[in-house]
Amino acid sequence: MTFQVLWLQSGGCGGCTMSLLCAESPGLLSALQGAGVSFLWHPSLSEQSGADVQALLDSIVAGEITLDALCVEGALLRGPEGTGRFHIMGGTGQPMLTWVQALASVARHVVAVGSCAAYGGITAASPNILDACGLQYDGRYPGGALGAAFRDATGLPVINIAGCPTHPDWVTGTLALLARGQLGASDLDPLGRPRFYADTLVHHGCTRNEFYEYKASARHPSDLGCLMENMGCIGTQAHGDCNTRLWNGGGSCTRGGYACINCTAPEFEEPGHPFETTPKIAGIPVGLPTDMPKAWYVALSSLARAATPERLARNATQDHIVVPPTSRPLRR
């Protein structure tokens, strides 16, 4: 028996599927096969369309075909006026919202793939004329398309694989754990994210950590220094193993020179300031590192700046290393 997954796409860009197709070591199909996971239907991977898909959905809702996991990518569009008719599923005449609610009621598990499906994401950004929301969250607030009280057949809430986009391993890993019956309520964080990736901060493993330690900060997008103080990076607060579980063979946002924008969190899409700037009060960043009291941050920052090696201070504002590490004989 395989673990049968139905994947639907709603209001979004399809970026989580594009990311999933980039799975490597192993590739997507090998990873799914090894975990005993198969797609009943996926809009990018399956041949069926039109009447064939309609018949499949009808059979699932009728209980004639077992649905182990309903995966939804993209926000649910509730407008206009709660009808969901801003998004009619092609060929069915029914809103995607209606299909998702019906399928969720018979699915063993329900999985939100990406921050749009989890919390609303980019699709729900102001003015949100589509009335977009997540499966079980409306931004940071419980509710969404299925309601805060929703639980699947095993007693779990919606599993929120948040990210914009999701890392391929987050998706394949979650499905593999579900297929083995090894993902329970204690394996989800307070926002419904699988803890195997959400218990890590993006800051962990960042190649700019030496600059961070001495508060040697970048001032322009191409600079080598830490991106937190001036360039809008909130990797010290963002949940995700992006710098230890690398993307596309060896990359991440911060390794590519772009600030972490906390895309695994609700309402990341509207931080209240440009993504590439750090809001400050009296010169102190408003968003401090997780678990760091403000007084400690101020004290440690002052000490770190006073001790910053010239190498780091100069390299931080350059796009290449201008002062290499000093070569010294080892003391024995």
For 58-75, the pLDDT digits (tens) are: 999 999 999 999 999 999
The amino acid present at 235, given as its one-letter code, is G
185 plus 207 within the same structural domain: no
- Record the tokens describing residue 94, joined without a space: 């029914």
Helix-helix angle 168-179:28-35, to 10 degrees: 20
DSSP secondary structure letters along 126-140: TT-TT-EE-SSEETT
Domain-located, residue 332: no
pLDDT value at position 190?
97
> Is 14 domain-assigned?
yes
Identify whether residues 107 and 194 lie together within a single domain. Answer: yes
DSSP single-letter state for residue 70: E
Domain shared by 82 and 108, yes or no: yes
Same domain, 140 and 57: yes
Residue 264 lies in a domain: yes
Are 163 and 238 contained in the same domain? no
In a domain, 326, yes or no: no
Residue 7: inside a domain, yes or no? yes
Answer yes or no: is 121 within a domain: yes
Total number of domains constituting the chain: 2
How high is the pLDDT of residue 254?
96
pLDDT confidence of residue 159: 98
Q: Which of the listed residues 183, 198, 213 is the one where a domain comes to its end?
A: 198
Q: Where among 180, 198, 216 does a domain terminate?
A: 198
Regions in the chain scoring below 50 on pLDDT: none
One domain for residues 65 and 169: yes
Give me the domain span that covers residue 304.
200-318
Report pLDDT for 295.
82
Task: Report DSSP state, residue 106.
Answer: T
**Do 126 and 213 fall into the same domain?**
no
CATH number at residue 96: 3.40.50.700
Residue 121 and residue 268 in one domain: no
Looking at the structure, do residues 216 and 184 belong to the same domain, yes or no? no
Domain termination site, one of 160, 180, 198: 198
Residue 287 pLDDT = 82
Are 166 and 253 within one domain? no
Inside any domain, residue 323: no
Do the domain assignments include residue 324?
no
Q: What is the CATH number of the domain that holds 250?
A: 4.10.480.10
CB 17 within 8 A of CB 73: yes
* Same domain membership, residue 177 and residue 80: yes
Nearest to 263 by CA among 231, 247, 240: 240
pLDDT at 189: 98
Amino acid at position 77, single letter: L
Question: Which residues neighbour 98 within 8 Å (Cβ) at sequence distance 6 or greater?
Answer: 84
The predicted structure's pLDDT at residue 290: 83
Same domain, 145 and 253: no
Secondary structure (3-state) at 16: helix
Joined together, the tokens standing for residue 14 give: 């399809």
> Angle at CA 127, nearest 5°, toward 124 and 129?
75
What is the structure's pLDDT at 203?
95
Q: Which of 2, 11, 7 is nearest to 21 (CA)?
A: 7
- As a whole number of angstroms, the distance between CA 143 and CA 137 comes to 5
